[in-house]
Structure 1
Amino acid sequence: MTAVILDRRQVLGAGAALLMGGEAAAAHDGTVHVTMEKLVFLPAEIEVKAGQTIEWINKDPFAHTATVKGGWEVMIPPGKTATRAVAAGDTVEYYCRFHPNMKGRIKVSA
């Protein structure tokens, strides 16, 4: 049997990669994925480039929104997906209008 020994940095790095799922979840087509499950946006913070698309994937049995106060809103039905292309200057805080405790942040870079 071969033993695998990981140092603390490897373990912490792997944990960070899991927590930063948005960066790892960026598809080759430029789409960044955010999952909604158990009343949480995962990841809660994402960084995208202007022109990229965000795809929200609703794994909950009820509808959610991605809502920016005084801005835009994306409706995501249960078990479905919805998208929005981001523009420069779209760095925003957003939430679910139906579940205001669900909060996220989108940072748009040039």
Structure 2
Amino acid sequence: MVRLLCPAWLLGLTICPLPTVAAETIRIRIEDLAYTPQHVAAHVGDAVEWTSRDYVAHTATARNREWDVVIPAGGIGRVMLTHAGKVEYYCRYHPNMQGSISVAAPP
């Protein structure tokens, strides 16, 4: 989705800057003790949202310790991506559950 922002009118200008890309929400499903999709691509500023369809609680814990999101059974957890790089994560309760997010700088 592209959202056009034109703050130039505040300065009395009639031109607009290049379009700005709006942040997106990357959705990951937790089901049968697995993250689906297991690997995703995102941009700085995007949100990642995990939705559990399992009957037990899970976490999405970054291996670099940047975040640790607790997702209750049947619940939702969310984190905002703040910098570029690859983030590998896992479930602290079920360490065999693993995923990764490739975070690019904003376009």
Q: Same fold (TM over 0.5)?
A: yes
Structure 2 stretches of 5 or more lacking a match? Answer: 1-21
Point out the structure with the larger helix share. Answer: 1
Closer, same or farther: CA 95–40 of 1 in aligned 2, 3 Å? same
Q: Which amino acid in structure 2 is aligned with residue 49 of structure 1? A: H
In the alignment, what sits opposite 1:79?
74
**How far apart are residue 68 of structure 1 and its match?**
1.5
**Rg larger in structure:** 2
SS in 2 for 1:91: strand
Q: Distance in 1 between matches of 2:62 and 2:24?
A: 22
TM-score (norm 1): 0.71
Q: Which amino acid in structure 2 is aligned with residue 106 of structure 1? A: I
**How far apart are residue 109 of structure 1 and its match?**
0.5
Count of matched residue positions in the alignment of Structure 1 and Structure 2? 83
In the alignment, what sits opposite 2:9?
none
Structure 1 stretches of 5 or more lacking a match? Answer: 1-27
Q: CA RMSD in A?
A: 1.5
Residue identity (%) = 39
TM-score (norm 2): 0.73
Q: Which amino acid in structure 2 is aligned with residue 97 of structure 1? A: R
Q: 2:58 aligns with which of 47, 54, 64?
A: 64
